[in-house]
Amino acid sequence: MTNLGKMMKQAQEMQGKMSEMQEALEKAECTGQSGGGLVSVTLNGKGNMKGLTIDPSLFNSDDAEIVEDLVIAAFNEAKRKVEEYAQNEMAKITGGMQLPEGFKLPF
């Protein structure tokens, strides 16, 4: 019985840490840039866009496709950073415990 009690306690502790991590992810911000910093996209740790900055010099361009491509590239870089950040935070909680492939937390 002590093993079951110990496991339950550990599960409760993990749940508390997961809640804290969720809050931290909401507050964290990662920024991706493209075009040498002409376009910046900022996402929170959950992947929601919080900011977009486009250098005014790009508005002089007649080619909107360039601006669109730069926004997509900046977003993808920010998303990669968010995923890396979330993965590192999860490793802190799980103590490096390997989770099954495809098992994504906290999403």
Structural domains of the chain, ranges and CATH numbers in brackets: 29-94 (3.30.1310.10)
> What tokens appear for 91 in the block?
């490793």
Give the CA distances from residue 82 to residues 6, 33, 49, 66, in Å, rounded to whole numbers and listed in that order. Answer: 33, 13, 11, 24
Residue type, 103: F
Per-residue pLDDT of the chain (107 residues), as tens digits, is 567 777 777 777 777 888 888 888 888 899 999 999 999 999 988 888 999 999 988 887 677 888 889 999 999 999 999 999 888 888 887 775 555 556 555 54
